[in-house]
């Protein structure tokens, strides 16, 4: 391993088109790089596979959240109406379950929605105001028209010279160093 510049986060290549970005990402992945990321102003489905994005935990979490919400909603109502302070209301039995259905349902949706949102925010590490990639001046185009690919310096295969050469090979417009 060559000695790394400690202030180097990684290398970034800019592409003119989404197609070239996808192509390059595929090549980088084939080259064995693990710690790299692609940046684009919209979602590109092909990148999911290349980057091995695994999100199946989000729906599972949402399901768990939904079930807990429903359980909480029902138990809350049952507890309040029949256990803690039972009051005779309209001559109905204390545990009048049909009347508890709407809130149980709404709590299920709320629980699922909140946990899904929380999962997503966790996936984003939101809020995350600073990131080294922002140090690249042209990166501000990543949210508009630019397509970028960054290889991180702590990838085992990373070598500042070779990796840069690899990136230069591709149809990139330019390659930048990303300072930390």
Which residues in 132-161 contact other proteins (CB under 8 A)? Answer: 133-134, 139-145
| Joined tokens for residue 72 | 């909480």
Are 151 and 163 within 8 A, CB to CB? yes
Residues 6+ apart with CB under 8 A from 21: 15, 38, 40, 44, 47, 147, 148, 149
What is the per-residue binding string for other proteins in 90-129, x denoting contact by CB under 8 A? Answer: xxxxx-x--xx-xx-xxx-xx-xxx-xx-xx--xxxxxxx
Give the one residue of 8, 29, 71, 76 binding other proteins; rule: CB under 8 A. 76
Residue (123 or 162) nearer to other proteins, CB: 123
**88 near other proteins, rule: CB under 8 A:** yes
Q: How far is the CB of 179 from other proteins (least distance, A)?
A: 16
Residue (131 or 162) nearer to other proteins, CB: 131
**29 near other proteins, rule: CB under 8 A:** no
**169 near other proteins, rule: CB under 8 A:** no
Give the one residue of 32, 87, 137, 156 binding other proteins; rule: CB under 8 A. 87
Spatial separation of the C-alpha atoms in residues 180 and 102, rounded to whole Å: 52
Question: 3-state SS string over 18-53?
Answer: HHHHHHHHHHHHHCCCCCEEEECCCCCHHHHHHHCC
Residue (103 or 159) nearer to other proteins, CB: 103
Residue (41 or 160) nearer to other proteins, CB: 41
Are 105 and 120 within 8 A, CB to CB? no
């Amino acid at each position: 391993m060559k000695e790394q510049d400690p202030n180097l986060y990684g290398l970034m290549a800019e592409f003119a088109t989404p197609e070239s970005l996808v192509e390059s990402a595929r090549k980088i992945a084939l080259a064995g790089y693990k710690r790299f990321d692609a940046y684009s102003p919209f979602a590109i489905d092909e990148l999911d596979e290349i980057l091995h994005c695994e999100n199946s935990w989000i729906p599972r979490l949402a399901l768990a959240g939904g079930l807990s919400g429903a359980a909480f909603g029902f138990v809350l109502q049952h507890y309040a109406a029949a256990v803690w302070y039972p009051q005779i209301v309209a001559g109905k039995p204390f545990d009048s379950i049909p009347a508890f259905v709407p809130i149980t349902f709404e709590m299920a949706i709320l629980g699922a929605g909140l946990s899904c949102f929380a999962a997503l925010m966790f996936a984003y590490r939101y809020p995350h105001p600073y990131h080294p990639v922002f140090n690249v001046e042209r990166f501000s185009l990543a949210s508009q028209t630019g397509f970028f690919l960054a290889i991180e310096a702590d990838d085992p295969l990373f070598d500042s010279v070779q990796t840069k050469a690899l990136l230069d090979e591709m149809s990139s417009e330019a390659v930048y160093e990303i300072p930390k």
